[in-house]
């Protein structure tokens, strides 16, 4: 018997037990499925994730034309409502599609110093007092390593209730850029992020939680460093509670980099959300532009089909499950290629032309 007095969580948990238990018979499984569907209809994010999985695995059938699109839409809604499994599933799903696309390509030059798409050796050695984020590319002991290092300074007083939780979230978001990647035609690259936390005014990355109004925050920051931010950017940020990075008038290796973090509820204790936001904003500090699937912020958007290496990450033409589009998304090989080019060429790398009609990154459209 199904008890319809269940809360969504209870319905989902009892449903899971009935459905997944190895000793369940087909009646138990059917009841379990019913309960999970019930929890889904009551907007339980994990139940929605399970329903999406069942649809993709063929356990359930949707009465719609494109079942896979429908399942992915459910998956996104579950992920956006905080279901970590749904988020992980989307990331793995896109990663698999990307691998399928690129696995057939031979990966050459595995044990030599990194070269670009034209076969030219890549040299990156940006460091010094006027370089807020240092980037050094080295070939040692048979592997290529890109080390990004910066001194992180947090700018807040006692208005943050859980300062350690907040700073850990930001640091983890920045460290998320570390990892193993394959760039410029399948060459292996290790990305390391080195952080220091000295109290100094210059040569650092400022992290500023916007606890009061943006205006008062700017005033506070301006007392420490010269800061020029466009008014429209501010108004927009406050209205939408959107975090943002300032990268100087124009991004360059030497321009000042600051990350402003806004919190939806003003509490700054949502570890997961702040981590992902910091990950996205650090991408801007590394010289990457925004990636939008459709027109937004007076940018045109990047239609699906424009760049094959981004298509694997496109979900129903709505958005790209990539860090510079949706901050929860993964960091791709392509993003790292763009970071390398930004530091090598001392020029911001864009996915879409900006207001000043600047060119898009040469890393795009060339595959892995
Ligand atoms: Zn952005």
Cα 243 to averaged position of ligand 1 atoms, centre (Å): 8
CA distance 258 to 361: 23
Cα of 284 vs centre of ligand 1, distance in Å, is 7
Position 226 scores a pLDDT of: 66
First vs last C-alpha separation in the chain: 53
Residue 300 CA, ligand 1 centroid: distance in Å: 14
- The CA 22 to ligand 1 mean position distance, Å, reads 46
- Centroid of ligand 1 to alpha carbon of 290 (angstroms): 5
- How close is the Cα of 121 to the center of ligand 1, in Å? 30
CA distances from 26 to 12, 29, 155, 230 (A): 18, 5, 58, 62
Report the percentage of the chain scoring pLDDT > 70: 92
Mean pLDDT across 136-162: 92
- 229 and 292 both lie in a single domain: yes
**The total number of structural domains that make up the chain:** 2
Euclidean distance between CA atoms 190 and 138, whole angstroms: 10
Q: What is the DSSP string of 34-52?
A: HHHHHHHHTT-HHHHHHHH
Q: Nearest 5°: phi and psi at 189?
A: -145, 135
Say how many Å lie between the CA of residue 291 and the centre of ligand 1. 8
> Ligand 1 centre from 324 Cα, in Å?
6
Determine the Cα–Cα distance for residues 285 and 277; give it in Å rounded to an integer.
Answer: 13
Please give the distance, rounded to the nearest whole angstrom, from the Cα atom of residue 106 to the centre of ligand 1. 33
Query: Would 239 be classed as within a structural domain?
Result: yes
Token couple for 104: 């057939």
Segment among 97-101, 205-209, 235-239, 250-254 with least mean pLDDT: 235-239
Quick one: 213 and 294 in the same domain? yes
Residues with C-beta atoms within 5 A of ion ligand 1: 290
Q: What is the per-residue pLDDT for 232?
A: 60
Task: Indicate if 184 and 322 belong to the same structural domain.
Answer: yes
Block residue for tokens 């090598």: 344
> Domain check: are 80 and 129 in the same one?
no
Give residue 328 CA to ligand 1 midpoint distance, Å. 12
DSSP letter at 359?
Answer: P
- 249 in any annotated domain: yes
Mean of per-residue pLDDT scores for the chain:
89
Whether 244 is in a domain gets the answer yes
Ligand 1 midpoint to CA 326 (Å):
9
Ligand 1 center from residue 136 Cα (angstroms): 24
Which structural domain range is residue 40 located in?
8-102
Q: Bigger pLDDT: 314 or 66?
A: 314
How far apart are the C-alpha atoms of 121 and 203, rounded to whole Å?
Answer: 28
CA distances from 270 to 100, 166, 221 (A): 35, 8, 24
Q: Is 146 helix (H, G, I), strand (E, B) or coil?
A: strand
Residue 356: CB atoms within 10 A of its CB come to 6
Compute, in angstroms, the gap from residue 1 CA to the centroid of ligand 1.
50
Q: Is residue 37 part of a domain?
A: yes
Query: Between the CA of residue 151 and those of 133, 226, 280, 348, what are the distances in Å?
Result: 8, 18, 18, 21
Give 348 Cα–ligand 1 centroid separation in angstroms: 13
- Across 40-44, 158-162, 187-191, least confident range: 158-162
Q: For residue 269, report the phi and psi dihedrals to the nearest 5 degrees.
A: -120, 15
Q: Give yes or no: residues 177 and 222 share one domain.
A: yes
Q: How far is the CA of 280 from the centre of ligand 1 (A)?
A: 6
């Amino acid at each position: 018997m199904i008890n319809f007095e269940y809360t969504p969580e209870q319905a989902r948990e009892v449903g899971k037990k009935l459905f997944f238990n190895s000793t369940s018979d087909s009646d138990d499984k059917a009841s379990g499925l019913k309960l999970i569907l019930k929890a889904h209809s009551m907007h339980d994010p994990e139940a929605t994730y399970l329903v999406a999985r069942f649809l993709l695995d063929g356990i359930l059938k949707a009465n719609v034309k494109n079942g896979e699109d429908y399942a992915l839409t459910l998956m996104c809604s579950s992920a956006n409502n905080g279901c970590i499994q749904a988020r992980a599933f989307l990331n793995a799903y896109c990663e698999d599609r990307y691998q399928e696309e690129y696995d057939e390509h031979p990966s050459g030059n595995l044990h030599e110093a990194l070269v670009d798409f034209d076969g030219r050796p890549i040299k990156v050695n940006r460091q010094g007092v006027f370089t807020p984020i240092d980037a050094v590319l080295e070939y040692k002991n048979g592997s290529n390593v890109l080390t990004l290092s910066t001194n992180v300074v947090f700018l807040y007083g006692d208005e943050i209730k859980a300062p350690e939780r907040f700073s850990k979230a930001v640091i983890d978001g920045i460290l998320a850029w570390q990892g193993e990647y394959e760039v410029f035609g399948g060459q292996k690259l290790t990305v390391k992020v080195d952080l220091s936390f000295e109290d100094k005014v210059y040569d650092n990355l400022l992290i500023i939680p916007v606890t009061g109004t943006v205006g008062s925050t700017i005033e506070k920051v301006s007392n420490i460093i010269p800061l020029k931010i466009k008014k429209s950017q501010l108004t927009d940020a406050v209205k939408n509670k959107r975090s943002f990075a300032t990268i100087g008038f124009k991004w360059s290796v030497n321009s000042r980099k600051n990350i402003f973090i806004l919190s939806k509820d003003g509490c700054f204790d949502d570890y997961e959300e702040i981590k992902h936001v910091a990950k996205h904003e650090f991408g801007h500090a590394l010289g990457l532009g925004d990636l939008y699937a459709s027109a937004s912020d007076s940018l045109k958007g990047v239609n699906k089909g424009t760049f094959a290496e981004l298509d694997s990450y496109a979900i129903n033409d709505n958005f790209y499950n990539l860090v510079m589009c949706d901050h929860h998304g993964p960091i791709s090989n392509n993003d790292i290629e763009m970071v390398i080019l930004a530091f090598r060429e001392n020029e911001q790398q864009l996915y879409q032309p900006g207001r000043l009609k600047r060119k898009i990154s040469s890393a795009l459209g060339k595959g892995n």
